[in-house]
Amino acid sequence: MHFDHSYAQKLSDMVSQVRISPLLEPELALYNEQLAEDIELKNEFSQPETLFDALFKADGYFNLNAVAQKYGGHQFGGWNPDLGDGRGVLLAEVVTQKQRSWDLHLKGAGKTPYSRFGDGRAVLRSTIREYLASEALHSLGIPTSRALCLIASKETVYREQPETGAMLIRACQSHIRFGHFEYFYQTKQLDKLDKLFTYTLQKHYPWCINHENPHYSMLEQIVLSTADLIAKWQAFGFCHGVMNTDNMSIHGITFDFGPYAFLDTFDPEYICNHSDHNGRYAFDQQPGVALWNLNALAHAFTPYISIEQIKQALTQYETRLQIHYAELMGAKFGFKKVTNDDMKLVNQWLALLAQDKRDYTQSFRLLCDENLSQSKLTDHFIDREQAQVWYQAYMARVAEESLPKNERLVTMREANPKFILRNYLAQNAINEAENGSFEECKRLLKVLSNPFDEQPEFEHYAQTPPDWGKSMEISCSS
């Protein structure tokens, strides 16, 4: 393992040198030892003194090399050129022995040239939510940035009300967003756009370089990986909440967590962001929004590839999304190969869940019950007659599978989590942390690290939300 700073060095005219503002009485509250091991990060950073020296001392390694990145983005459909790392800084790139590279990025670092009117801080509430969500998604097999550590403090920051300041170090392949390419294209800084493309191809898409048209190959890869990501979000019931193009990663990973939510009651029109008044980022709008965002990104490719080639790349999105979504849903129902008729059965199930306002995760887990019977399934619904019709059609389809029942159910349990990060569970952990204890955060992380297992000792974490935890309004404010 060694540290690199290739983005800051090769694209130095696209970043600003920043000094990290220390938090008042920092505390290393959570540290992801497994992630640190995976990316071959030295164990010494699990020691608060070593980590804080690197971050906060004037000559600290991370502090000396911290930079904020410049980018733009389409926010709720409107172009905004005045964006950038307003509270985050790129610390370094960890390069493993196998030459895999991981960005280390600090959120809540203090003011940068792109903070606009903000204080550059993150609050404990949103920092805990990002830590929990990124690790929950990772354990579900959904591509995501990861949380390395959470630093709490005694510092007060002001949002709608006074809150506690915190920091998060996260890791991912890179922090290059759709908005990076958009900004330099929209502002006609084509020399910088060219440097950004050259860097990205060499660093992150080297296999595209030998392609007949490297830029087309890169766009195609971004389209396909984004389609795969959205298919997973839809299959597992994850709602991002703020799919602005500056929150979209070129690596097809879940990125920049804000007012996200996993579905409790299945509502295809569910809006998790209380600032999303028109439902632009509602759950069932995510596939279309991702394609809209890819179209916005594709404009930056026009100096390099033709409009026809761009259309050719973008038209692969819908097909890839549908195929991968069908595969994921087929696994959830225990189907080996999914047909169009199977997808009709899937959609009938979803319509039944929406009509009777059933819990998304619990309903799918019910299908994995070895004692599932017609009466047990119909008892789960209000419309028992329609549920009975669906059950009979489903069991007739399952009978066509060659797998023995026990093997099929094992396979289904590997596709249908028992535990998800419900907003009320996150809020419970936040409440305890704001009172000085991170034990609930740690317990919740343990549960979420094995989402498909039964874990009978944690059965209460699989329950539907109490009344106060239903339809919680989550804001972007952090």
Residues annotated as catalytic (active site), given as ranges:
246
CA Rg, the chain, in Å? 23
From CA 422, how far away is CA 425, in angstroms rounded?
5
> Is 414 in contact with 140 (CB distance < 8 Å)?
no
41: left (phi over 0), alpha (psi -120 to 50) or beta: beta
Three-state SS annotation for 3-33: EECHHHHHCHHHEEECCCCCCCCCEEEEECH
* Helical residues (DSSP H) of 368-452, grouped into ranges: 374-378, 384-398, 405-413, 423-434, 439-448
E strand or H helix at 75: strand 67-75
From CA 377, how far away is CA 381, in angstroms rounded?
7
From CA 215, how far away is CA 305, in angstroms rounded?
7
In this structure, the number of other CB atoms found within 10 A of the CB of residue 385 comes to 9
Cα-based distances in Å from 198 to 192, 255, 453: 10, 23, 44
